[in-house]
Structure 1
Amino acid sequence: MKNSEVSTVNSELKYLKLAHLLLDKIKQGDLRINDQLPSVNRLAAEHNISKSTVLMALNHLMEKGIIEPVYRKGFFVKKNSIDHQFRVFFLLDKLTVFKEELYHSFFNRLKDHAHIDVFFHNYSYRIFERLVLENLGNYTHYVILSIMKEDVSPIINLIPPEKRIILDYNIENLNGDYSAVYQDFAGDIYAAMKDVRGRVEKYRRAVLVLPEDSFYGNLVKDGFLRFCEEYQFDYLIVHQIERSQFRRGNVYITLNRHDRDDVDIIKLVREHKYKLGRDIGLISYNDLYVKEVLEGGITVISTDFSKMGEEAANLILEGKVAKIKNPSKLIIRPSL
Structure 2
Amino acid sequence: MKYMQLAEHINHQIETDQLHVNDRLPSLKQLEEQLGMSKETVLKGLNYLSEKGIIESVYRKGYYVRRKAQHHPYRIFFLLDKMNILRDRIYYSFLNTIKDFADVDVFFHHHNFKVFEKLIHENLNNYTHFVITTFLREDPSALLNQIPPHKRIIIDYDEKNLSGDYTSIYQDFKSNIYDSLVELLPRLKKYNQLILIAPEEAYHAHAVIAGFKLFSKEYKFKNKIAHRVEEEAFEKGNVYITFGRYDLDDVSIIKLSRKNNWKLGKDIGLLSYNDTAVKEVLENGITVISTDFDKMGEEAAKAIIEKRIIRMRDPSKVILRNSL
Superposition TM-score tier, normalisation by shorter sequence: 0.7 to 0.9
CA distance in 1, matches of 2:143, 2:160: 13
Partners of 2:138 and 2:245 lie apart in 1 by 18
Q: Which amino acid aligns with 2:157?
A: Y
Match of 1:149 among 132, 137, 142: 137
C-alpha displacement of 1:257: 3.1
Detail structure 1 runs of 4+ shifted over 4 Å in the superposition.
none
Q: Which residue, 296, 305, 313 being the options, matches 1:317?
A: 305
2:78 equivalent in structure 1: 90
Give the deviation of 1:81 after TM superposition. Answer: 10
> 3-state DSSP class of the match of 1:260?
helix
Indicate whether 1:206 and 2:176 are aligned. no
Q: Look up the match of 1:279.
A: 267
Q: 1:256 touches 1:262 (CA, 8 Å); kept in 2? A: no
| TM-score under structure 1 length normalisation | 0.75
Take 1:249 and 1:306, find their aligned partners in 2: how far apart are those partners?
35
Per the alignment, residue 327 of structure 1 pairs with 315
Q: Is contact 1:250–1:281 with CA below 8 Å preserved after alignment?
A: yes
Q: After superposition, what is the alpha-carbon deviation per residue over 1:49-93, rounded to whole angstroms, capped at 9, x for unaligned?
A: xxxxxxxxxxxxxxxxxxxxxxxxxxxxxxx99811111100001
In structure 1, how many angstroms separate the alpha carbons of the residues matched to 2:77 and 2:114?
A: 17
One-letter code aligned to 2:298? E
Identity across the alignment (%): 51
Contact preservation (8 Å) 1:93, 1:120: yes
Pairwise CA distance, 1:245 = 1.3
Residue 245 of structure 2 aligns to a residue whose secondary structure is coil
**2:233 paired with 1:245:** yes
Using the TM superposition, give the Cα deviation of residue 327 of structure 1 relative to its aligned residue in structure 2, in angstroms. Answer: 2.5
- Taking structure 2 as the reference length, the TM-score comes to 0.78
Q: What is the aligned partner in structure 1 of residue 97 from structure 2? A: 109
8 Å CA contact retained: 1:256, 1:284:
no
Question: 2:114 is matched with which residue?
Answer: 126
Aligned to 2:163: 175
Task: Give the conservation status (yes or no) of the 8 Å contact 1:145–1:166.
Answer: yes
Residue by residue over 1:298-330, the C-alpha shift from the partner in whole angstroms, topping out at 9 and shown as x without a partner, is: 000110000000000010011111211113121
Match status 1:235 vs 2:206: no
**In the alignment, which residue of structure 2 is the partner of 1:219?**
207
Give, as a single letter, the amino acid of the residue that structure 2 aligns with 1:110.
I
Name the SS of the counterpart of 2:244 in structure 1: coil
Question: How many residue pairs are counted as aligned between the two chains?
Answer: 259
1:200-239: CA deviation from partner (whole Å, max 9, x where unpaired): 0110100000000100111111111111111111100000
- RMSD between aligned alpha carbons? 1.6
